[in-house]
Structure 1
Amino acid sequence: MDLNTVTDVVSPAAVGQWRPGDAWLGGGTALFASPAPEIRRLLDLTTAGWEPLISRPDGLEIAATCTVATLAAHEHELIGKCCHAFLASFKIWNVATVGGNLCASLPAGPMIALGAALDGICLLLGPSGSREVPVRDFVTGEGRNALRDGELLRSMMLPQASMKAPTAFRQGSLHAYGRSAALLIGRRDAAGGFVLTVTAATTHPFVLRFGSLPSPEMLQVALAERIPEPAYVRDVHGQPAWRRHLTRMYAEQIRAELS
């Protein structure tokens, strides 16, 4: 969709240039997907020269401008599964960015699921400096996140310990290749704990932590107590009752797989 109110593009853009009416431009697949008459200027991050992927002793740093295609080539199994959870063609893969998926903050965002499930940390840069926010707290609702005026998402860091942990993945849609109606990821940590991340079915990520593998009954009770009914999404991709059913079914499948 054309953004016919845009009168200027700043490239390359940098922190400190933002003013009301500006929008950060990465891949643009989310930015150009719907009308945005309030936008007057685009701040281009694609020419910032950020290295897409940096492997460090403590984990993997993923630049906000890293494309889905670049990330999908990584050898980590869960990363590949989350990339394939996109409702997108290979053309979109080569343009859409990890940062764009996080900042769009849609329930079905698979990069949100990946980051929340692996205890990812978002690095945010703004006029007042930098700060770190866990991915699980970065998305606060449908289309809402923790970014303040003038801030941008620089990168997402996935800790090495989480990336080495055993995981299980479940994703369901109304039809083949449809948008995720529920996307759940389970993880066992080194101390024997169990972590379940619920996304797509809910307005924002829910991360349930247990000191040890819960029983089927304990898991179902935790899902009922920790995820309020209004948190389940209602749209053309699925009704709340069905999404809740998928969530509870997939949660037990994941628990059993990781037992």
Structure 2
Amino acid sequence: MDLHTVTEVISPARPGQWRPGDAWLGGGTALLGEPRPHVTRLLDLAAAGWPPITVRDDGVEIAATCTIAELADRLGRHPIVLQCCHAFLASFKIWNVATVGGNLCAALPAGPMISLSAALDGTCVLVGPDGGERRVPAAGFVTGEGTTVLRDGEFLRAIHLPSGPLGARTAYRRGSLHRHGRSAVLLIGRADPDGGMSLTVTAATRRPHVFRFLSPPSAAEVEAALETIPISGYVDDVHGRPVWRQHLTRHHARRIRAELAV
């Protein structure tokens, strides 16, 4: 879609350049997907040249500008990474343009990079207009449909995934109204070496929900945890009604618990 109100593109962009009416540009697949009449200038982050993936002693840092294709190529040996990449059900063209950071910042419930980052205890690195950094848990980055914790002028610089969760055993379940449809439910379970387990609910809900258990939970404990999500917390759109999404969430949660208990 043409953003006919844009009169200038700053490339490469850097902190200190933002002003009202600006929008940070990554891959552009979300930014250019709908009208944005308030946007008059684009600040190009893709031209900054950040390394897509940086391996550190405590995990990996994924640049916000890392494309889905680069993520799958570099970290696809981890099954959960590849599963979340394929949850896009997108063409190779999208894989080679869409970015990890863009998927988080769009804050669509079905965003699989939101699911991946939240399920693996990711941390989002945010940079403000003055260049200062702050870090927030990925599970709390998205606050609702299309909303995040980003403040005016801030951009998402990177997502850090700690090595422990990245290497843990996981279970993945996804559901939609039809085979090639948008994710209506996406759950990820994670079994940790210390005996704990986490269950992350996304796509079905307006924001991610992460439930943590100190030991393998019983079916009743999982059900009790899911009961804390009110029916109003489930998405209601053409891709699925709240009651149906709630039902699928509970169904897949039971299957994940059973799989990780083995």
8 Å CA contact 2:126, 2:155 repeated in 1:
yes
Q: Which residue, out of 111, 130, 133, partners 2:133? A: 130
Q: Which residue, out of 240, 252, 255, partners 1:253? A: 255
Q: Is it true that 1:217 corresponds to 2:215 in the alignment?
A: no
Unaligned runs of 5+ in 2: none
8 Å CA contact 2:78, 2:167 repeated in 1:
no
Structure 1 residue 127: Cα displacement: 2.4
SS of 1:47 mapped into structure 2: helix
Structure 1 residue 87: Cα displacement: 3.4
Counterparts of 1:76-87 in structure 2, within 5 Å, are: 76-87=78-89
**CA–CA distance in structure 1, aligned partners of residues 225 and 135 of structure 2:** 28
Deviates more, 1:246-255 or 1:213-222: 213-222
SS of 1:258 mapped into structure 2: helix
SS of 2:23 mapped into structure 1: strand
Counterparts of 1:14-163 in structure 2, within 5 Å, are: 14-73=14-73, 74=75, 75-128=77-130, 129-163=132-166
Structure 1 residue 37: Cα displacement: 0.2
Amino acid at match of 2:183: S
**CA–CA distance in structure 1, aligned partners of residues 172 and 209 of structure 2:** 15
CA offsets per residue over residues 211-234 of structure 1, 9 Å max, x none?
11111112112111x211110000
Structure 1 residue 57: Cα displacement: 1.3
Correspondence for 1:193: 196
**CA–CA distance in structure 2, aligned partners of residues 55 and 77 of structure 1:** 18
SS of 1:251 mapped into structure 2: helix
Structure 1 residue 165: Cα displacement: 1.0
**CA–CA distance in structure 1, aligned partners of residues 193 and 229 of structure 2:** 26
Deviates more, 1:54-63 or 1:33-42: 54-63
Structure 1 residue 249: Cα displacement: 0.4
Count of residues in correspondence between the two structures: 258
**CA–CA distance in structure 2, aligned partners of residues 200 and 155 of structure 1:** 22
What TM-score does the superposition give when structure 2 sets the normalisation length?
0.97
CA offsets per residue over residues 95-134 of structure 1, 9 Å max, x none?
0000000000010000000000000000000124100001
Structure 1 residue 40: Cα displacement: 0.2
CA RMSD for the aligned pairs? 0.7
Identity of aligned residues (%): 65
**CA–CA distance in structure 2, aligned partners of residues 52 and 246 of structure 1:** 35
Structure 1 residue 154: Cα displacement: 0.3
CA offsets per residue over residues 67-103 of structure 1, 9 Å max, x none?
0011111221110000000031111000000000000
Deviates more, 1:236-245 or 1:209-218: 209-218
Structure 1 residue 64: Cα displacement: 0.3
Unaligned runs of 5+ in 1: none
**CA–CA distance in structure 2, aligned partners of residues 248 and 183 of structure 1:** 11
Amino acid at match of 2:168: A
SS of 2:46 mapped into structure 1: coil
**CA–CA distance in structure 2, aligned partners of residues 113 and 235 of structure 1:** 19
What TM-score does the superposition give when structure 1 sets the normalisation length?
0.98
